[in-house]
Amino acid sequence: MVSKLLREMGIVPETCVLKKERKFLSATDVEEVRELKRQGVKQKHIALTFGVSQSEISRILRGSRHHTGTRPPPLSDETVRLIRQLYAQKGPGNKVTLKLLSEWYNRNISTIRAIVKFDIYKDVSAEARDES
């Protein structure tokens, strides 16, 4: 393997995590990563501990990777319409961003983006349906 050869030649230090050697973290690992950060441990040290990159640790801490626990329940049609309306009103006086919507509705930014682009919840129309 190339990474072993590079290490043996002294080109890549032992502490460096090469792309081929990266691993996926379990839900328990992710919780431990978050706890270490709460204790003030630097991201680069956490990354070395778990054998992943610092950027992966950053994504975990931002919440854009490794959501633990059960999936949130599906959004109601009403909520999907509201998300689309709030984002559509975006303008100079309106500061509703994808990030803000993701925080309000406890969803990933990519999920909110997919909702406003009609990539998911395609069957939910822009206007409320008349139930009568």
Structure confidence at residue 132 (pLDDT): 40
Bridge partner list, 94: 91
Per residue in 2-24, pLDDT tens? Answer: 455 555 666 555 555 544 454 67
More confident residue, 67 or 122: 122
Percent of the chain clearing pLDDT 70 (strictly above): 71
CATH architecture of 2-62: Orthogonal Bundle (1.10)
Per residue in 82-94, pLDDT tens? Answer: 999 999 887 777 7
pTM: 0.47
* Cα 15 off chain centre by: 26
- Which residues lie below 8 Å from residue 18, measured CB to CB, with a gap of 6+? 3, 6, 12
